Structure 1
């Protein structure tokens, strides 16, 4: 038995799970939000106890120290010493072209993650902070990096290159890298096992605050909606998804927008937030039901963009055996699933409304009996996937 601590370190948050492998038993979990603020919040839960507090948490080091104290606490803890942690699996968003597999973290690996920060400035720096803090608090544990981009290294050159001068590809490594790979890998493996068809052609829709679609043929990622950075593709909570580059040039040339203003506009002020004033899908669905036209058109735009990617990926794979919904919105929004699957019978996609509105948990089918393609809801579990990959690496 090995105890694997999984850490997902964001720009202002830190999420963890302590998992016993290979039994896949969750011993403890927690989330620290609003790090650096006076009213930061942490919520921890173990097999013995729960603890939720609001207090000032100045940095990631303090956040992880609080998690360690909880894990070691006599009343709520599940370990008696930091030495009981065998490995720490870290989610690292951008591995560039260098990492196609999970890897043990060394000084050289940390330097490479640092060098790739320019490709994921909102993600790689806090990922690296999480690694460095964990090394200090759990010095005896093996540190493992699991890269979001790794699953998409199988995307062929014809799909991952952009039609720009060759030197930008060769020297600057500008290409499609893809993200949410840990989730897409976990969900696609679950789906293929459920379908009992390792060669199935499926499209996985990871729909949360960040959204992405992946074409997966026989378990391999062959195309993906997020590209050089996590901004393209589907409409997201605060990110625009696909946009005509001429708009960016127009705003810079005629309106004097700076790089930072463009970045904030497209990453933090666009998507569903820009269209409705809300980034939470529950608020948007409520607005739609109450007749708010902004919420209605936003949902229609969101679904329409998803449908275009489904069609494109079915064409790229020359077929579609299953459409898979996952992540917070994908698993819980029956309204968006219905809008996505409407008028898709040409591709063999026919939704069963009763099954779609069911509150059942776990993997389930929601298509009609006559639907040629399966429609599945498969809950994602990125932390478990990181634990599985870390466990496999250290054994």
Structure 2
């Protein structure tokens, strides 16, 4: 059975056709700028890449392109299930779920918790169900992996009524990635996952750190929303909650505008005044750009501090995993982070670290060191695996 994996953003649709038990990906692609005259679909198939213009097209039109491509490859009838990434499942879902009308209603109920993400996920699900109405659809939640966090980790010190009536608690995100790379790290270290206590760092435009104890999430740097935690591409990460009221009064902004600025104008972009792209910032810092240098240094400092804090959730630390676009490709960020974490027993192997870029993972520390690894994440394969397992159980 082939599984079509779908990941919808506010104006994008990422897709991949794969089977969990084989490395083959006969079709993959990305629809971008949906709903605008510049909309298009990039399609990767049979070793070639083509771009299909889709002016004004939305999710239904993008899925029309996917259907046409599947037909051209004679694979349309071999799609046995569709797996959807859903960002927020609240505390309603601790595992993937078959997308029944009731489950979709529950995803809608979580929109207030993820107003930037869940509406796009829902729109993509509805368009996909219209295009692929004859196969099961499964929701795989970013938050589900973190439902094993203990209450001491997920509760905020706020009025009890906020938690009971409004679900104000820490949920965590990037769960699919954290679960995948923890399993891969165990395989690379040749140790049973259930015997390992790892800190996994998913570092990209969105970034989070997770304490993984025996394959289960024990804590996460992200909270009620994906805004909490590390410095990210355009997200501030942790700030004083009093900032909202202060800057609203001082700058004459609404709370909605403050939140938007913390999500879209802050982080690496806000600190550097230049870019949210770590590659650009590293190059600019090398040329002496003060804002770029500060942004990189703050990113690394906050990352190292959070990793060290996550060790508290584990009691015993057996290794650190870097993943995501920055984690997999920035040797400089990894080096600077491990330098700050020397007190925990990490010692960088500079040559191994330099080699671990552009898809080349592996251990990047010396033999006597606590191991740090680079593991290439593959959320699509994890979603396909979980979707196929759920469908096979007939749930």
Shift of residue 344, structure 1, vs aligned partner: 2.1
* d(CA) in 1 for partners of 2:235, 2:297: 16
Once the two structures are overlaid, the 10-residue window that deviates more, 113-122 or 193-202, is 193-202
Match of 1:366 among 350, 359, 364: 364
Give 5+ residue unaligned stretches, structure 1: none
Shift of residue 322, structure 1, vs aligned partner: 0.5
Shift of residue 102, structure 1, vs aligned partner: 0.7
Question: In the TM superposition, what are the counterparts of 1:200-279 in structure 2 within 5 Å?
Answer: 200-276=196-272, 277-279=274-276
Change (3 A) 1:57 1:30: farther
Shift of residue 78, structure 1, vs aligned partner: 4.3
Length, aligned pairs only: 388
* d(CA) in 1 for partners of 2:225, 2:17: 30
Change (3 A) 1:29 1:57: farther
* d(CA) in 2 for partners of 1:56, 1:117: 28
* d(CA) in 2 for partners of 1:369, 1:297: 32
Indicate the residue corresponding to 1:179 in structure 2: 173
Contact 1:241 1:271 in 2 (8 A): yes
Quick check: 1:131 aligned with 2:130?
no
Contact 2:173 2:222 in 1 (8 A): yes
Shift of residue 289, structure 1, vs aligned partner: 0.9
Shift of residue 359, structure 1, vs aligned partner: 4.7
Once the two structures are overlaid, the 10-residue window that deviates more, 254-263 or 136-145, is 254-263
* d(CA) in 2 for partners of 1:45, 1:392: 26
Match of 1:386 among 383, 386, 390: 383
Superposition TM-score, scaled by structure 2 size: 0.95
Give 5+ residue unaligned stretches, structure 2: none
- 1:1-21 CA-to-partner distances (Å, cap 9, x unmatched) read x01000001101000001134
Superposition TM-score, scaled by structure 1 size: 0.95
Contact 2:356 2:362 in 1 (8 A): no
Quick check: 1:154 aligned with 2:148?
yes
Indicate the residue corresponding to 1:71 in structure 2: 70
Structure 1: 4+ residue segments shifted above 3 A: 359-363
* d(CA) in 1 for partners of 2:312, 2:49: 49
Shift of residue 57, structure 1, vs aligned partner: 3.8
Shift of residue 170, structure 1, vs aligned partner: 1.1
* d(CA) in 2 for partners of 1:359, 1:366: 7
Quick check: 1:20 aligned with 2:19?
yes
Match of 1:120 among 114, 120, 124: 114
Matched residue SS, 2:139: strand
Indicate the residue corresponding to 2:353 in structure 1: 356
Indicate the residue corresponding to 2:31 in structure 1: 32
